[in-house]
Amino acid sequence: MVITVAFIGYLVAGPLGAILAAIGVFSPLFLRHLPGALLSADRQEPPDQSVRQWVTAAATGAIAGAAFVLGRRAIVDLPTVLIALMTFIVLSKIKKSRAVVILGAGFVGCLLGG
């Protein structure tokens, strides 16, 4: 996830944007739970549920941001629009099947591009 956040930050504002994006996404999580982790007598306890929720929300935001930025740069003509639509349809109909998406996109790409 750090790579995705840093990548989006880099696309928007270069190397400094990458660093600031990663710090901005993860610092609230660490600052909120750092005192409890340092003062906890039992280091074997499972992580707090809210930590998982924060990490999931941060990952979802980073992935959505990456998809938006990459989609704007990648979907530039009719063949790429068709491949994106086919991918969306397959993902919405057939759950958990990355192989079908990859094969379908390759098939459409071969039909459109030769």
Q: Where are the domains of the chain?
A: 1-74, 76-114
- C-alpha distances in Å from residue 65, one per residue of 2, 39, 58, 102, 114: 13, 35, 11, 21, 32
Contact at 8 Å (CB) between 13 and 74? no
The answer to whether residue 82 scores a pLDDT higher than 70 is yes
51/72: higher pLDDT:
72
Locate tokens 């003509």: which residue?
Answer: 77
Question: Residue 57: pLDDT band by 50, 70, 90 thresholds?
Answer: confident
Q: Per the confidence metrics, is the pTM higher than 0.75?
A: no
Per mean pLDDT, which range of 9-23, 70-84, 90-104 is the poorest?
Answer: 90-104
Locate tokens 């039992």: which residue?
Answer: 42
pLDDT at 40: 56
The answer to whether residue 47 scores a pLDDT higher than 60 is no
Percent of the chain with pLDDT over 90: 0
